[in-house]
């Protein structure tokens, strides 16, 4: 005689249901009172379904039923299409206005709980595969969802011509969209269904506008209120400028670049970096370094010709109010590739203005040019710090030192959180904060760790391996 599913012992029913797709669970609850009661509030069942479908989170202190419900809702929102009665652009704007806060919170929570550890698939892939990241990549693959949720900052509204030209204090929805776009990691260089509008000139105008560099912003990607909160619209603009220049130079064809700049959500979550070599010996000082500083980092620096930079920021008869953006800037830039090799020198307690959960880590090292050894600004000694901001973001400060004298400084944030493989994004500028500049965008990400018992004062073959031989044989200037 056949046995009904509902007649089986609860443990067996639980084991069977733990393998159903999350989309099936709400449907199952509607079939009968037994399944409704069995699933409702069943945290253990929801946890197993979550872990079978998505990455196992670093902490089990979650509301598992809510987590599953939010993932299902996120899928439904991203599956919606524009209607024939309303133009797609209007429909997307309405959806974004209503759903952006939920989409932002759920997506960032999925990244926070993404996979950690594992082994590298290749030397140039410094982060593990993640089912959470794969889900988000799938959801934001469509132009409709990118338009609705990743391009709602003031920068994109300005490109659409939907603003009055006045840049008011940052709005929460603008910041949420810009942060989501930044974590997406593959900046959208073209806007609209026909991809006819280029974002680069608008991003460039923000990155090179000296009015953005103030004491309150620390001349970096922070809010202009002295709070050290990240201004994600600045980060978004920096990423757009850098990716545009990388594509123009053909750099994004190399895995060490494309794995981050052409890959959605590539390593954009906490502790995603996978060490290389995997079984490395760490000193007692490095064991205190919660940011995993020591190692080899690949850096990109962009800058304008100073004549263009000065003419743009100090035009004749300039009376432009601070809340009015400067005109779109479409002037060519120079791009430099730099190899940084750094090691921890000191770990100390956080200061009053720092996040109190992590120490301040000091480091030293050097940088070497990869594409123009004649450029004296690329070859220097380095020193700097990594610390936590009060809102829980990782802030990096670096100084470039020539003949023992500090010359250039940079301020950046680690995109994705502590030990994120995605690396650091920010601004470089004159160490003395010269009101006439220059300044510009920069990014750097870790490609390998220090070889055990190696000389960390020299560039070794081990440091170049993740970059690959093809890159070393080309010149980009």
Show the CA angle centred on residue 434, arms to residues 431 and 440, nearest 5°: 70
Mean pLDDT over 20-49 rounds to 90
Yes or no: say if 451 and 435 are a contact pair by the CB < 8 Å rule.
no
Rounded to an integer, what distance in angstroms lies between the CA atom of residue 158 and that of residue 180?
18
The verdict on residue 44 lying in a domain is no
- Reference 102, options 60, 135, 133, 69; nearest CA is 69
| Three-state DSSP class for residue 367 | strand
Please tell me the least confidently modeled range out of 177-186, 283-292, 374-383, 414-423.
374-383
Q: What is the pLDDT of residue 372?
A: 63
Give the Cα separation of 63 and 248 in Å (integer): 46
**Six-digit token pair at 407?**
């010359």
What mean pLDDT do residues 344-351 have? 96
Statement: residue 84 has pLDDT above 50: no
Domain that residue 353 falls in: 86-100+116-477
3-state secondary structure of 236: helix
- Does residue 379 lie within any of the structural domains? yes
Give φ, ψ of 99 to 5 degrees: -100, -15
Evaluate whether residue 70 is within a structural domain: no
* Residue 8, SS3 per DSSP: coil
Q: Tell me whether residue 79 is in a domain.
A: no
Q: Is the per-residue pLDDT at 342 higher than 70? A: yes
3-state SS record for 72-109: HHHHHHHHCCCCCCCCHHHHHHHHHHHHHHHHHHHHHH
Q: Per-residue pLDDT averaged across 448-454, rounded? A: 72
Q: Number of structural domains, the chain?
A: 1
User: Is residue 59 domain-resident?
Assistant: no
Query: Which region among 216-220, 224-228, 275-279, 392-396 has the lowest average model confidence (pLDDT)?
Result: 275-279
pTM of the model: 0.91
Q: Is the pLDDT of residue 92 over 70?
A: no
Per-residue model confidence (pLDDT) at position 132: 97
Answer whether residue 56 is part of any domain. Answer: no
CA distances, 259 to each of 32, 127, 327 (Å):
47, 9, 33
* 285 Ramachandran zone, left/alpha/beta (phi>0; psi -120 to 50): alpha
Query: Is residue 306 domain-resident?
Result: yes
Other beta carbons within 10 angstroms of residue 456's beta carbon come to 18
pLDDT in tens, 98-154: 899 999 999 999 999 999 988 888 889 999 999 999 999 999 999 999 999 999 999
The answer to the question of residue 17 being in a domain is: no
Confidence band (pLDDT; 50, 70, 90) for 319? confident
8 Å CB contact between 328 and 201: yes
Q: d(Cα 179, Cα 391) in Å, to the nearest integer?
A: 14
């Amino acid at each position: 005689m056949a046995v009904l599913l509902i007649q089986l012992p609860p443990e067996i029913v639980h084991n069977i249901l733990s393998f159903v797709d999350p989309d099936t669970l709400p449907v199952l609850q509607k079939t009968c009172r037994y399944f409704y009661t069995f699933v409702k509030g069943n945290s253990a069942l929801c946890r197993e379904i979550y872990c079978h479908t998505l990455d196992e989170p670093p902490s089990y202190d979650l509301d598992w039923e809510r987590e599953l419900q939010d993932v299902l809702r996120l899928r439904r929102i991203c599956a919606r299409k524009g209607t024939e009665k309303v133009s797609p652009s209007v429909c997307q704007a309405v959806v974004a206005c209503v759903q952006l806060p939920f989409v932002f919170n759920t997506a960032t929570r999925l990244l926070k709980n993404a996979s950690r550890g594992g082994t590298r698939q290749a030397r140039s892939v410094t982060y593990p595969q993640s089912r959470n990241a794969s889900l988000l990549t799938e959801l934001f693959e469509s132009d409709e969802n990118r338009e609705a949720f990743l391009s709602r900052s003031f920068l994109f509204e300005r490109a659409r011509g939907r603003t009055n030209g006045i840049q008011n204090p940052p709005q929460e929805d603008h910041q949420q969209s810009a942060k989501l776009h930044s974590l997406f990691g593959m900046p959208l260089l073209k806007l609209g269904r026909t991809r006819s509008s280029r974002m680069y000139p608008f991003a460039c105008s923000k990155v090179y506008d000296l009015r953005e560099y103030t004491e309150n912003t620390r001349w970096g990607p922070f809010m202009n209120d002295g709070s050290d909160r990240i201004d994600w619209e600045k980060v978004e603009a920096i990423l757009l400028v850098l990716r545009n220049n990388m594509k123009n130079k053909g750099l994004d064809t190399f895995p060490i670049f494309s794995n981050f700049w052409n890959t959605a959500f590539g390593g954009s979550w906490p502790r995603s970096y996978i060490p290389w070599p995997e079984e490395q010996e760490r000193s007692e000082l490095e064991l205190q370094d919660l940011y995993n500083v020591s190692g080899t980092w690949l850096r990109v620096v962009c800058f304008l010709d100073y004549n263009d930079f000065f003419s743009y920021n100090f035009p004749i008869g300039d009376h432009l109010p601070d809340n009015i953006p400067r005109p779109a800037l479409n002037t060519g830039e120079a791009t430099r590739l730099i190899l940084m090799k750094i090691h921890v020198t000191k770990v100390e307690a956080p200061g009053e203005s720092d996040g109190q959960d992590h120490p301040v880590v000091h480091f030293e090292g050097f940088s070497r040019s990869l594409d123009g050894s004649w450029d004296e600004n690329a070859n220097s000694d380095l020193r700097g710090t990594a610390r936590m901001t009060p809102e829980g973001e990782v802030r990096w400060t670096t100084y470039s030192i020539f003949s023992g004298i500090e010359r250039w400084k940079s301020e950046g944030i680690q995109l994705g959180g502590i030990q994120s493989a995605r690396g650091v994004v920010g601004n470089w500028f004159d160490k003395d904060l010269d009101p006439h500049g220059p300044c510009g965008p920069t990014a750097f990400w870790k490609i390998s760790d220090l070889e055990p018992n190696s000389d960390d004062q020299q560039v070794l073959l081990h440091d170049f391996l993740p970059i690959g031989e093809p890159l070393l044989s080309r010149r980009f200037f």
